[in-house]
Structure 1
Amino acid sequence: MESAASSPQRARAVGRGDKMRAVVLAATITELTKGGYAAMTVDGVAQRAGVHKTTIYRNWKDSDSLVADALTKHFAVEVPIPDTGAVESDLRELACSVVTTMTSEAGQALLATVLAEAGRTPKLAEVKDAVFGDRFRRAEIVVTRAVERGELPPDTNSTELLKTLVAPIYFRLAFTGERVDETTAGQAVRVALAAAHAGALPAA
């Protein structure tokens, strides 16, 4: 890491507004990846991002807010929402993106953060809920389009279908440690579609 003496020059290079926020959020992800949630500090993020600590506190009320924003933005970018014109290929791309993202070094570290630490840190449990809630809201359009095309029953619950899709992937990653790959993604798609067509995922 660079010395504190170089911070003013680095802070000017970072800039303000959206550019500054992007740099700080990227630094937060790096800090989480390298040391985990317990070791992450606002000081460390500030030094890595090249900004003053007060800059961070002006934009985020505390470290948990910073982590929540960083994780939400990271997963929104790393798992794009597909639009192939068919629900099966849309869900397959979505599942494969989850596999690719969560098996990376950063993905594994971030998964450990939102799952393992949430049980010990109530505020981080809220972070986990916010991250996954945002993920499902962004992906709802995949199910909405499929219903409009007549590929899924009209009363299909989009959130439940998406949970059914990703559940076997996250179960292997978080609990059993089994290998996950495109085959896992394909199986998850077939299970999710079968459940929807069987009427097992009705809207509330």
Structure 2
Amino acid sequence: MFSGARALLGKRNKKNSSQKENRARTTKKNKALKALDNDKFEEKADEADFFCTAIPNPVPLEGKLLLEPVNELSKKSPKHWNDNDLMPIIKLLAGRPWIDGRGDNYDGACAFNMISPDFDAYLNKHDNIRGLVDPTYVVADVGGIVISNFGINNYPPVGSPLPQLVNFANTNYVWVFNGHDRVAQAQHLVGWLQHGVPNLSLFVFNTSSQAIHY
């Protein structure tokens, strides 16, 4: 009799444990969905992106300003670089949406592009200064067509804490995000666009340094 009672209690405990796990999973899922709400945006951003300190600056950086500091940095081997060596360039890049490499900016942009693999590799190992740059790009694959229900003119939603979008080099379907909340902002835009245009392909690039516009 006692063995039967123990078996019954064991089944009940197992059932209760399973119910608790299901409730926990449901609660976790609901919290994740709720984090997309505007009221929870800042909280979600804090969790997703904790070390970026760049202050967004919507003005692109003139490539010619990079020529001198890049030439100076190039005098040292990358394995001997330190934070102070990179700071002149980082201060120029901080918060910028992209580098303008057109016209008389071409040489400076090209010079930076030549060192960017080593530059990015250094930043990836040093979060304290990487956080001063570190932009995120969102690209929509629209196949060169105009989508009537894109809804981007209504973004961000009224009353939202989100900032106005910054288009990459005046393109229609590429956006740049900088600053502490950049990853969460990019993800919010992805959700917004795919809600309005189901099956729309979007690409998110988290980069260590800015893209160059030639």
Tell me whether the two structures share a fold, i.e. TM-score over 0.5: no
State the TM-score, normalized to the length of structure 2.
0.28
State the TM-score, normalized to the length of structure 1.
0.29
- The structure whose residues are more often helix, as a share, is 1
- The structure whose residues are more often strand, as a share, is 2
Q: Which has the higher contact order (CA 8 A, sep 6+)?
A: 2
